[in-house]
Amino acid sequence: MSPSKKIILSGARPTGRLHLGNYTGALENWVALQKDYRCYFMVADWHVLTTDYEHTAEIPPNTREMVTDWISAGLDPETSTIFVQSHVREHAELYLLLAMLVTTARLERNPTLKEQVRDLEMDQGEGVSYGHLGYPVLQAADILIYRAHVVPVGEDQLPHIEITRELARKFNRLYGDVFPVPEGKLTRFARFPGLDGRRMSKSLGNTIELADSPEVIQTKIKTAFTDPQRKRRSDPGRPEVCLIYTYWQKFRPERAPEIYEGCTTAKLGCVDCKRMVGEAIAEFLAPLRDKRRELESTPGAVDEVIRDGDEKARSAARSTMDAVRERMHVG
Ligand code: SF4
């Protein structure tokens, strides 16, 4: 890792095997960022507890599956630090200290919290735990403890980064400069359609997983929605409203013009179009599946990556906490 490169922190809750939406929404971008930044990629297991503290048994297997997908997709443990949040206890200490610098009113105004409350049908007064309200502060600790300069985010996360920036500025003003004020870096292909046209999401059951075999991909793609107005094979289609065409644009863009022409002139039928896009996706995912197979055939390989990453992350976090304690005259 070059010390002159800027630092990036990004993370994801351990959700188990990843799907194409996770890939296009974050992972693909992370892989590309490794070239230009020193990257910390965090399994955000404590973050799971903010909304799902009753179901924790799945966290370790989900962590392993997700990290397997991360490495299979091209995250390189030699150059990037891949670690688990809860294995670096210093996050909790910084979280506590930063929590003193923010008001509850500021956290209650967080639009992401309001959206979550609405989506999960919670009651903002009674249903939101102290930890859930403080989630952006934990996120700020995650970022600041590595003195990250850049945080890749989706649009919905931008308000959280704002809280991180406010906390960094406030800390630096009160106690002296310790933290860079990080920038949010918007990811490009944030929303990716699932097989039913809604956002691809595990909870909606509309995913294609990175580890799916070509046969499974074909079975799933047969169920995908297409242009609802194309009732007969002889009707021309409208690729611009068809999610299969979005898949073509993403996975085989060089064939998209030919598909567009075939669809709009009714020379190409949906059954063939879907079969071909299924083949294109399977081909795209083949190197990832090979890498996964290789990792799975070496017992303990993924755990070792995590152990090494934890160690590197701890060392950086300890050095930040030494500076924080000294400046704050605590600890
Ligand atoms: S031919 Fe392909 S792009 Fe056109 S509507 Fe059918 S599935 Fe969609």
pTM for this entry:
0.93
Number of other residues whose CB lies within 10 A of the CB of residue 116: 18
- Residue 190 scores a pLDDT above 70: no
What is the reported pLDDT for 119? Answer: 72
Nearest Cα to Cα of residue 16 among 187, 156, 210, 153: 210
Of 108-112, 223-227, 300-304, 317-321, the poorest mean pLDDT is in 108-112
- Residue 205 scores a pLDDT above 90: yes
What is the reported pLDDT for 153? Answer: 83
Of 65-69, 158-162, 241-245, 277-281, the poorest mean pLDDT is in 158-162
What is the reported pLDDT for 291? Answer: 97
Number of other residues whose CB lies within 10 A of the CB of residue 271: 11
Q: Specify whether the CB–CB gap between 300 and 227 falls below 8 A.
A: no
* pLDDT bucket at 111, cuts 50 / 70 / 90: confident
- Residue 91 scores a pLDDT above 80: yes
Q: Specify whether the CB–CB gap between 327 and 176 falls below 8 A.
A: yes
* pLDDT bucket at 162, cuts 50 / 70 / 90: very high
Q: Specify whether the CB–CB gap between 295 and 71 falls below 8 A.
A: yes
What is the DSSP annotation of 282-294?
HHHHHHHHHHHHH
pLDDT, average across residues 75-103: 98
- Residue 188 scores a pLDDT above 70: no
Which ligand 1 atom is the nearest neighbour of the CA of 242? 8
What is the reported pLDDT for 157? Answer: 78
Sheet arrangement for strand 81-84: 81-84, 37-43, 6-12, 150-153, 183-186
Q: Is the CB of 230 under 6 A from ligand 1?
A: yes
In the chain, alpha helices (H)? 20-22, 28-33, 45-52, 59-73, 90-99, 104-108, 111-119, 130-133, 135-144, 158-175, 214-222, 243-251, 256-264, 270-296, 301-328
pLDDT, average across residues 25-29: 90
Which ligand 1 atom is the nearest neighbour of the CA of 269? 1
What is the reported pLDDT for 158? Answer: 81
Q: Is the CB of 221 under 6 A from ligand 1?
A: no
- CA 60, 65, 66, 67 dihedral sign is positive
Of 158-167, 185-194, 218-227, 230-239, the poorest mean pLDDT is in 185-194
Q: Specify whether the CB–CB gap between 41 and 8 falls below 8 A.
A: no
Please report, rounded to a whole number, the percentage of residues in the chain having pLDDT higher than 90: 83
Terminal Cα distance for the chain, rounded:
30
What is the reported pLDDT for 125? Answer: 64
Q: Specify whether the CB–CB gap between 178 and 327 falls below 8 A.
A: yes
Any idea what DSSP says for residue 237?
Answer: P
What is the reported pLDDT for 124? Answer: 61
* Cα distance between residue 95 and residue 135, in whole Å: 9
Q: Is the CB of 245 under 6 A from ligand 1?
A: yes
Number of other residues whose CB lies within 10 A of the CB of residue 157: 17
Q: How far is the CA of 23 from the centre of ligand 1 (A)?
A: 23
pLDDT digits (tens, 9 = 90+) for 124-152: 666 788 999 999 999 999 999 999 999 99
Contacts of 264 (CB under 8 A, 6+ apart): 236, 237, 238, 239
* pLDDT bucket at 2, cuts 50 / 70 / 90: low
Cα 123 to Cα 32, 130, 156, 238, 272: the distances in Å are 40, 13, 20, 42, 48
Q: Is the CB of 152 under 6 A from ligand 1?
A: no
Nearest Cα to Cα of residue 131 among 163, 151, 104, 105: 104
Average pLDDT of the residues of the chain:
93
* pLDDT bucket at 9, cuts 50 / 70 / 90: very high
| Alpha carbon nearest to ligand 1 atom 4, residue | 263
What is the reported pLDDT for 32? Answer: 95
Q: Specify whether the CB–CB gap between 159 and 113 falls below 8 A.
A: no
